[in-house]
Structure 1
Amino acid sequence: MENKINDLLSDNKLSSKKELVSILIDRAEKKQSNQAFYNIFQHFLIESKVTLAGTFMMVGPKRGLSCFISEFLSVCVTDNNYEKQIQLLKGLLNDLNDLHESKKPLLKMTVAQSLLQLTNQFGLRRFLAYNSKGKPLHFYFVPYGNKNMNASYSPYFNAIVIYKNALDSKSSPEYIFMHELGHVFQMYMTKDSTKVPVSFKEATKGMFEQCSDEVMVEVFVDCFSVAIMEGTTFEDKNPFCSIFLKEHQIILKDYFSKILIEK
């Protein structure tokens, strides 16, 4: 069984990843331990130079999906609560079922690195590098479209997963990447994925209509993206740079600069 799990993990086909997770679900439902496979997932991460890598490490499309799955399963299979393990595994399988072949573009890692460089203007890299638990920020590039999202940030793994831009033709891969970085920063500032800093609400009072906390988080990360990308060669990649008033863009740049200095 260990050889089969290893072969499925190493195979680049999406169907192999689904089969792997299905096997683990079946075993867990029979109350058969999956802990024996932990070393397989860890070995794959070590071989891919993920486990010992520093912050801002990017895993390209050839191994991006396998590495993120390995990181997820390394945590999942060590949980002795079978019901919880089954729930997590079924959630992962649902996520894999949302993936599909797409001819849409996947953000190039060289472009992602250039976008990261933009954060230097605010001294942001030191705030983005590690989460509150000291886990370095990693990026996984997955060569598939996703039915529900173009990218996602996982606070638990402190990882951004980037998919092909198959959902919204008006949103560029560059903007989507910076939007997800905004979620990383929002978590650093609040330690709560559902809240924004009170200072942000005060600084932008009158700029936006009242909205739920969930929507305000999205407003915060979009404002973050505008503050970083405005006035750069990537400005035209952000749809909000042409929508926000110039005086509002100045307020946002000033806000993010000041809160970082205070930090």
Structure 2
Amino acid sequence: MSLADLTLDHWRSLDAAAAAPLAHEAAAQADGRVVLLDTVEHLGRPLHRVRIEREGREFALIPGGPVRLGFDLDAWEPTPAQSADYAASVAEGYGYGHDTLKGHLAEMLSPLRTATLAAVLMAVEDEPLTEPPAATPAVLAARGLRMPDPDEWEHACGAGAGTLFRWGDECPLDEPSYGGGHGVRHRRNAFGLHIAYDSYGTELSADPAVVHGGDGGEAVCGGYGDLLAWLPLATAHRNPWTAEFAYGPDGEGMYEEFSTRPVFSLR
């Protein structure tokens, strides 16, 4: 079996002894070495996590296959606290013209869908851009890497969870969505990634129309409200205005404020 064909379901069916050779094969393809192979509980089942060091940076193994992406708004209801916080934002003139939180999310989150993805290695940490966005693919290609596809990013972040955030449907509205700390947003996700952890971040994808993991601090600096400041960390969040800025003339001149999460394609 090609490693690129490794599905999440098959990966979860393996015991640790059967998972180890695949982890080392992935490391060999990347000219790296396995620095972690452990097992965690995720969605009621065991999930093996692999970290591979390659040229001084760590990558996580992200199995693919048929995956469910986007957010199911029809199956979700906001908590009273979330509804109240959003209503306060609307009263202050925010919410992009939507009276209800669900209406706002319908515009800001990617729709529920399925996709078939190849297994990849994805960087545990995002990397600040060293060149403008248009030049970044070539910079990464020189290292044998590429930018993530938006579907790959969502799958790697959510790891099969259908919740609003990678950790669940709620966020601590009494805590900031940015900066350092040890709160829920800084916990490694099920695949071992440090991802969607700071609303001041903006991770660029291979699609110039889609960014992830933050809005550059727009909601925080603008005083939009606590929930709207946390929403850029939602797994399916896609802010078209932030993407337009990042790839526009103003964003080109401040590219070091943006990042991307390099991917190594397995074969």
- The reply to whether TM is greater than 0.5 is no
> Which has the higher Rg, Structure 1 or Structure 2?
1
TM, length-normalised to structure 2 = 0.30
| Greater relative contact order, per chain length (Cα 8 Å cut-off, separation 6+) | 2
User: Which protein is richer in strand relative to its size?
Assistant: 2
Higher helix share: 1
Normalising by structure 1, we get a TM-score of 0.30
